[in-house]
Chain A
């Protein structure tokens, strides 16, 4: 399919992933799911709730090895991966800063994080424990942890879920700011179409369970041109291409 020699940083080719529940019922979550994300591209996985997006990310993160098929993670530079989970998953017994530093490789443990904390508006929160943060701040800390590791690829699983719209919008802008400073190959799961149109270079549209790719939607426009007017145009052309989705 791919021309020989082309750089394909993230290639996913999952033939099937089936869960067996405790009652013996088997649920096929993924079937013939294959897509690619190019080097330095920000891609969104868009699909209805329960279609298998988290399952896909867990496989790519190496947390679930019980599937058939294969995938290939980006190579070169740092070989590390980073993830922002559906919940912030900060260690409650470590401060914000300790949480970030613990995720760093040994040789980077003492690196200067002032810039990152400043950008994310966490400068005054470094010594707080996660229980002392609001959900929005905890999600920023999770973003800080992911970006601090300077990963080769970044996975995000609905990082702005269950936030009020204003907070979510601010966090999306913050995410874009830190991401633009060092464009990393990124794959973000969402079921929010507007969010996907605002953030991504390309949207991978998934079907209902078992998840497979319905099609791709490329957003070639640079992000700073995506004003409300342009966004509603994008929205319209998306809905023309994928009627019935979102």
Chain B
């Protein structure tokens, strides 16, 4: 007897990660990443050594500043402020974008009417949205987070609309015959089918959002990594700018490795099959 196929994998679906035999096999990718990053640092150090300049500090100097900023608490305060904004904008963008996307994907006439709006919003520059949000709603937290979310929502809409179009009607019909409640339908029928699309939107979302958050902070907030970078730009302190940038990239990497990937592995556990 042969097992039936699980069907096509939509874009963004995580690959199976079933072979974890032995510690060495598990460590190899980690070591590769470490060696690769070390190589980059080395190259950077050599370059900085070859062209010594205040505008191009080496990794050791950046590390010194990073430690100092961490010791006096500034680093964590500003990182925290930025992370909070990233998280808030992410949640708002994913929820609003998913709801709109699924509605458009499942109602053909609504989609035809609103499709030009989506294209329009996709093409409004982030800077314009941010400036307008600050002018209309004032230099406050809600305007900042809202502006970031609005920049991301059209992307989420497009991805989730694709996901809704790919929904298998036979599951919805089964749920109708067996009278699933609304919550069960969302939780057990809709969301699992949309999961690869949610993952894809999340991935591109976090990357885009944290970059826009820095601009929002630069233009109208008095804390956060973006504000600090602006401050050190005026002081022409490249070392501090790089220190903050590196710290933030590191945090996002940790989130990706220890939050995003495990959640994804859990959500796709049913795809795994015994060898």
Contacts and interface: CB of A to CB of B under 8 A. Distances in A.
B173 A92 contact: no
A233 interface: no
Given A91-B189, A92-B270, A131 B178 contact: no
B25 interface: no
A223 B243 CA distance: 82
B273 interface: yes
Nearest to A86: B170
Contacts of A136: 1
Given A131-B273, A132-B274, A102 B180 contact: yes
Nearest to A90: B174
A93 B174 CA distance: 15
A41 B214 CA distance: 70
Interface string A77-119: 0001111010101011110001000110110000000000000
Interface in B176-190: 176-181, 184, 188-189
A131 B4 contact: yes
Given A93-B270, A131-B273, A132-B274, A62 B3 contact: no
Contacts of A134: 1-4
Given A93-B270, A132-B274, A138 B178 contact: no
Contacts of A131: 3-4, 6, 270-271, 273
Contacts of A106: 181
B179 A80 contact: yes
Interface in B234-275: 270-271, 273-274
Which of the four size classes fits the interface of chain A? 20 to 34
Contact of A91 (B176, B192, B273): B192
A87 B170 contact: yes
Given A129-B270, A131-B273, A134-B1, A61 B177 contact: yes
Contact of B173 (A63, A94, A133): A63
A135 interface: yes
A166 to B, nearest CB: 11
B188 A102 contact: yes
Nearest to A134: B1
Given A91-B189, A92-B270, A102-B188, A82 B178 contact: yes
Contacts of B6: 92, 131
Contacts of A138: 4
B158 to A, nearest CB: 24
Given A62-B176, A81-B177, A103-B178, A93 B192 contact: yes
Most buried by A among B3, B195, B274: B3
Interface in B145-203: 170-171, 173-174, 176-181, 184, 188-189, 192, 195
A98 B187 CA distance: 13
9 A-B pairs closest in CB distance: A134-B1, A103-B178, A93-B192, A129-B270, A93-B270, A89-B174, A83-B177, A131-B6, A89-B170
26 contacts: A62-B176, A62-B177, A63-B176, A63-B177, A85-B173, A85-B174, A89-B173, A92-B6, A92-B7, A92-B192, A93-B192, A93-B195, A93-B270, A105-B179, A129-B270, A130-B4, A131-B3, A131-B6, A132-B273, A133-B4, A134-B1, A134-B2, A134-B3, A135-B2, A145-B178, A167-B1
Given A81-B177, A89-B173, A91-B189, 16 more contacts: A61-B176, A82-B178, A85-B170, A89-B174, A91-B188, A92-B6, A93-B195, A129-B270, A130-B4, A132-B274, A134-B1, A134-B3, A134-B4, A135-B1, A138-B4, A167-B1
